[in-house]
Structure 1
Amino acid sequence: MPANLKRRPSDTSASNMDDGSDFSQPSTPKQVKIEHETEELSKEERQERVFANLRLRRIVKENHGSDINQLSFFFNNKNFSAPYGIDQSKTFDKRGSVQRDQSDTSNILVTVGGPQINVYDNEHCGDHLDIMSHFNLAVESEEGSPPNKQLHSACWLHRPEDALIATAGADSKIHILSLANSEERAILSGHSKTITDLQSHPQNDRHILSTSKDGTVRLWDVEEEKCLAIYDVDATVSVFHPSGATFITAGARGEFREWDVVNLEDDGMDSGETAQIDKKQSRLLKKMHNDSQIDCIRYVNGNLLSKSINGRMEYWDPVSEKSIRSFRVKTGENFSRFDVSLNESFFCVGSNSGAIYVFNLHTGKQIAELQHRRSTKAVRCCVFTRDCRSVICAGEDGFIWRYDYIDDEILKEWANGQKSD
């Protein structure tokens, strides 16, 4: 049956909630800046000060009440270039809306939870996460029984005058959604079991990689709506090399494999035949996490950053297979996607008790621990904003938590106000 995609749905799809914290004062329209920036401090140290001053400012609860499995900003780095981190300067109009270039889509955030995809505007409405579009796969079948439509992953694909979202989960299909037209554009079928991970190609927005519990990873041409290659591997997550020429898969028993991305023209397979790739054509890499399940991997500075569900994170060189730095994060036993800042210097990761940890990747130093007294459930995913002045996390029961940078002057005002009370 057709998917249900709505533009600006009713308030039942998601609701903004007062955070209930001591840091709920309204923001004022002004240019955001970092206080006490001195020449003696490096850019990295100034960024660390920002993370140290993050405070909870917004809570959103989505109506599906299920785990939110992934968050993703539409940075569109393949087609848009602009400053990021503390180099980015934002200005606001009198209404508190951020002034930005029309081609800058980094304020757009997608959430994947339950049977729903929700798209938010993270900035134009000041402190609020304003819902823009709502996609619901939980459409009852003709027999009246709801199918299993739990979603697990999504990725963005740029198109002229549009933004596409590829999303997938328990129904084993990949749904291609048009944000501009508020419609389901295509369905890619082929997997026979739950799809756990989707990755867009780092060099183009035509190809995506899907990882499934059916024991295969598939390479797709979204425009042609066809599968280009099937890789025989039991994997939980995958990641493209930044060049797009190879990718790495990781599995439930800590196994890493490197694969070549099939070039159909070179293989003489442009007639539409799907390439079949077995394990013998891959390179088996060292087990960096022993036999623990890998739940997230990313290329960072040409190296790999990988996480297992027990909280161990490894920063390592996949060519030499040597460890650069190990992290033991207090996440507990928890499936959680981490995120890396656009300058590839910091990462954030969530725990099974509602905390988010921010680390300096180069020094190994923990920069911040973010948690509110009401945040006690497992964090399944977290992301940095483009300017790294906010960290957004989500997880169990459909809650989204946003921590924002508050400068020293405002923090002192709040502290003095609390003392006077």
Structure 2
Amino acid sequence: MASPAASLKHERDEPLEKSASPFQDDYNADASSSSASSPPKKQRTPEASSPSTTTMPESNASQPQTNSEQLEAVFRNMRLRRIVKENHGGEINQLAFFLDPQHNKAPFGLDQIKEFDKQGSVRRDPMDNSNVLGTTGGPQANVYDNEHCGDHLDIMSHFLLAPVIENDEEVTPEMLTCCWIHQPQDAILATAGTDRVVHILSLARSKELRRLTGHTHTITDIQPNHFNDQYVLSASKDCTVRLWNILTGKCLCIFEIKASVACFNPNTEGRTFLTGGYNGEIREWEIPELDGVDPEEPILISADNSRLLHPKLHAARIDCIRFCQGKVLSKSVNGKIEYWDPTTLEVLRTFTIKNSASNQCRFDVSMDQLFFCVGTSNGSTYIYNVESGRMVTELKHRRSTKAIRTCVFTRDSRSVVCGGEDSFLWRYDYVTDEVLDEWAKWKPEA
């Protein structure tokens, strides 16, 4: 599935590496992977080591631990258990699990207790797609199954943009962003990048359903509205943010602002959204009442009709915004994350990411909204406690030396998946104390 010719400009200046081993076809292809756990013998994951449930750390103190304390113990026991190399050779720009908080009411975090069949696969509700992981990097969007194949991240589907001709030269587009959208009996992956098109991909049908066209420059961010499964936002370097109806393919509204990222506001059930700019400013926008009817022409909304919340909250380009416990976490590429109240605009806490030079990274908030994870320029990923402001742990491996561009929690918070410059996926899993003790006693055979 190829995109039309377009003016292509990469989000970052460094060139993409050429893919050494392209997939043979668009779907059901293999991805090369290798394990990097210690000891080097193959170990089963904590989940697979139990036939029925996942063991959680127990407290030695007389007082029971809170969820936050138990999760901190889980994070401190995380070790690298799986590495997957994507074949495009470029950066992995975004990861997204299909967590679907509005339609999937299954437990999450410590409340999610997994059960396994005799083959070690997770027993789950067939409507629960939280095991599905989408990735974008180079000219590809890939979909993985993160649970049903033991330790593996198993490739499920693959979407490839063909090179296009621009100024008599062949140019390879780059996918920069993606998000999941719920539809009945389907999981929809929306993805976009330098080809200026939002691609709407059906996982159930393994095909591209439609293309949303209208942007005239690179698309840097797309965000779903979890309160209305028809709507998606796209932010572009063409100085607009657009609201789309993915079912009809029509652009409903054009918001005139040069924003690098956007985020729907769950406090208003998706009727408003925030944008983060290249100059560090944050604005709030209201979506017009559409009454379920697409306008004949997109509604133009100028910046004068938005609310400037913070003109200079950040000193550099904002690369990620997420809501957490009714408040906002916003990050800039200089490694500063601000936690602030969108009503009073009071800054509650500032996080300075350790050992990180200027780095673009999309952070993630756990489903219980108690923690966030964020990558650094040197290959580390940190997990922070939102309430205490404390850095809980550093996820790091000696082979991970390039910048982490994106990281995500699984639904049960027992794994964190990271991706970045070197086209590797790094999955860190919770490992029980018993297994860690066993590893400590391990000695190589003589």
Q: Please state which band the TM-score falls in when normalised by the shorter chain.
A: over 0.9
Residues 248-286 of structure 1, C-alpha deviations (whole Å, 9 max, x = no match): 1011110111100122349xx854121000011001112
Q: Percent identity?
A: 50
1:6 matched to 2:26? The reply is: yes
Structure 2 residue aligned with 1:376: 401
Matches within 5 A, 1:207-222: 207-222=231-246
- Structure 2 contact 100–226 (Cα < 8 Å) conserved: no
Following the alignment from structure 2 to structure 1, what is the Cα–Cα distance between the partners of residues 315 and 167?
43
Secondary structure of 2:394's counterpart equals strand
Matched, 1:251 2:277: yes
- 1:340-355 equivalent positions in 2, closer than 5 A: 340-355=365-380
Give the SS at the match of 1:414: helix
Give matches, 1:42-61, under 5 Å: 42-61=66-85
* Cα distance between partner residues in 1 of 2:314 and 2:33: 42
Task: Quickly say closer, same or farther: Cα 1:24–1:312, change in 2 above 3 A.
Answer: farther
Residue 162 (structure 1) aligns with:
186
Post-superposition offset of 1:418: 4.0
AA of the residue aligned to 2:318: I
Say if 1:380 and 1:24 are closer, same or farther in 2 by CA, change over 3 A: farther
1:203 alignment partner AA: F
1:70 aligns to 2:87 (yes or no): no
Aligned-partner residue type, residue 210 of structure 1: S
- Contact map agreement 1:23 1:56 (CA 8 A) in 2: no
- Output the CA distance in 2 between the equivalents of 1:141 and 1:290: 38
Amino acid paired to 1:307: K
Is contact 1:68-1:114 (8 Å) kept? yes
Displacement after TM superposition at 1:332 (Å): 1.8
Equivalent AA in structure 2 for residue 253 of structure 1: N
Deviation at 1:21, TM superposition (A): 4.2
CA contact (8 A) 2:28 2:158 kept: yes
Among 324, 329, 349, which residue is 2:348 paired with?
Answer: 324
Residue 288 (structure 1) shift:
5.3
Question: What is the aligned partner in structure 2 of residue 406 from structure 1?
Answer: 431
CA change 1:387–1:288 in 2 (3 A) is: farther
Is the 1:288–1:314 contact (alpha carbons within 8 Å) kept by the matching residues of 2? no
Q: 2:285 is matched by which residue type in structure 1?
A: W
Q: 1:33 aligns with which of 47, 51, 55?
A: 55
After TM superposition, list the pairs within 5 Å mapping 1:22-421 onto structure 2. Answer: 22=39, 25-27=42-44, 28-30=49-51, 31-37=53-59, 40-139=64-163, 146-242=170-266, 243-265=269-291, 270-287=294-311, 289-330=313-354, 331-418=356-443
Displacement, 1:148?
A: 3.8
Q: Normalization by structure 2: what TM-score?
A: 0.89
Conserved 8 A contact 1:138-1:147? no
Q: Residues 420, 174 of structure 1: CA spacing in aligned structure 2 closer, same or farther, 3 A cutoff?
A: same
Question: Where does the alignment leave 5 or more consecutive residues of structure 2 unmatched?
Answer: 4-23
How far did residue 99 of structure 1 move? 1.1
SS in 2 for 1:190: coil
Superimposed CA distance per residue, residues 146-203 of structure 1 (whole angstroms, 9 cap, x where no aligned partner) = 4442011111111111111111000101111111111111001000000000000120
- 1:197·1:211 contact (CA, 8 Å) conserved in 2? yes
Equivalent AA in structure 1 for residue 339 of structure 2: Y
* TM-fit CA distance, 1:2: 4.3
AA paired with 2:32?
S
Find the aligned partners of 1:229 and 1:166 in 2 and give their Cα distance.
Answer: 18
* Separation in structure 2 between the aligned mates of residue 273 and residue 387 of structure 1, nearest angstrom: 43
Contact kept in structure 2, 1:29 and 1:95, CA below 8 Å: no
* 1:17 has 2:34 as partner: yes
| Aligned 8 A contact 2:279 2:312 in 1 | no
Identify unmatched segments of 5+ residues in structure 1.
none
How far apart, in 2, do the equivalents of 1:83 and 1:275 lie?
39
Structural RMSD (CA): 2.1
Q: Provide the secondary structure at the position in 2 that maps to 1:7.
A: coil
Question: CA contact under 8 A between 2:144 and 2:156: conserved in structure 1?
Answer: yes
Cα deviation, residue 143, structure 1: 11
Residue 26 to residue 148, structure 1, CA distance change in 2 (3 Å): same
For 2:120 and 2:66, the matched residues in 1 are separated by 30
Report the alpha carbon displacement of residue 22 of structure 1 after superposing the two structures with TM. Answer: 3.2
Q: How many residues align?
A: 416
Letter matched to residue 6 of structure 1? D
Q: Deviations over 1:6-38 (max 9, x none)?
A: 3311x3xx2111226436542134321113246
Q: 1:139 to 1:5 in 2, by over 3 A?
A: farther
Q: CA 1:42–1:24 in structure 2 vs 1: closer, same or farther (change >3 Å)?
A: farther
Distance 1:110 1:24 in 2: 29
Distance 2:369 2:445 in 1: 42
Q: Which AA in structure 2 matches 1:8?
A: N
TM-fit CA distance, 1:290: 3.8
* C-alpha distance after superposition, 1:360-393 (max 9, x if no partner): 0000011110100000000000000000000110
Q: Does structure 2 retain, via aligned residues, the 8 Å contact 1:23–1:57?
A: no
> How many angstroms does 1:140 deviate by?
5.2
Distance in 2 (alpha carbons) for counterparts of 1:377 and 1:271: 46
